[in-house]
Amino acid sequence: MTEPVLKFDSASKRFGPTLAVDSLSFSVAPGQICGFLGPNGAGKTTSLRMALGVLSPDSGSVSLFGQPPGRDVLDRVGFLPEERGVYKRMRAEDVIVFFAALKGMKAGPARARARVLLEAYGLGHVARRKVKTFSKGMAQKVQILASIAHEPDLVILDEPFSGLDPVNQKALEALIRRLADTGKTVLFSTHVMEHAERLCDRIVLIAHGRKAFEGDVAEALAVPPAQVIVETEPHIDAQAIAARLGASAEQGQPPADAPDMARWIIRLPPGASAQPVLHAFVTAGAPLRRFEPSRPTLHDAFVQLVGDDAPPQTETEAAIEEAEAVA
Decide if pLDDT at 323 tops 50. Answer: no
pLDDT of residue 320 exceeding 50, the answer is no
- 253-282 pLDDT, tens per residue? 888 889 899 999 998 887 788 899 999 999
Report residue 4's pLDDT band, with 50, 70 and 90 as the boundaries.
Answer: very high
Whole-angstrom distance, CA of residue 192 vs CA of residue 124 = 29
Residue 277 pLDDT:
93
- Domains observed in the chain: 6-220 (3.40.50.300), 224-326 (3.30.70)
- 1 by Cβ neighbours in 10 Å (0-12 / 13-18 / 19+) ranks as exposed
Query: What average pLDDT score do residues 215-243 get?
Result: 90
The answer to whether the beta carbons of residues 84 and 163 sit under 8 Å apart is yes
Global confidence as pTM: 0.79
Residue-wise burial string across 289-302, b where 16 or more C-beta atoms lie within 10 A, e elsewhere? eebeebebbbbbbb
With CA atoms as reference, report the closest residue to 305 among 223, 209, 191: 223
Residue 321 has pLDDT above 60, yes or no: no
Do the Cβ atoms of 247 and 227 come closer than 8 Å?
A: no
* Sign, CA torsion 120/125/131/135: negative
Report which of residues 209 and 82 the model is more confident about. 209
Q: What is the pLDDT of residue 316?
A: 35
The more confidently predicted of residues 79 and 296 is 79
Measure the CA–CA gap between 114 and 260, rounded to whole angstroms.
64
Q: Is the torsion defined by CA of 185, 188, 192, 197 positive or negative?
A: positive
Q: Chain-wide mean pLDDT for the chain?
A: 88
d(CA 193, CA 314): 8
Region 69-85 average pLDDT? 86
Q: pLDDT digit string (tens) for 129-161? A: 999 998 888 888 899 999 999 999 999 999 898
Least confident interval from 40-44, 161-165, 197-201: 161-165
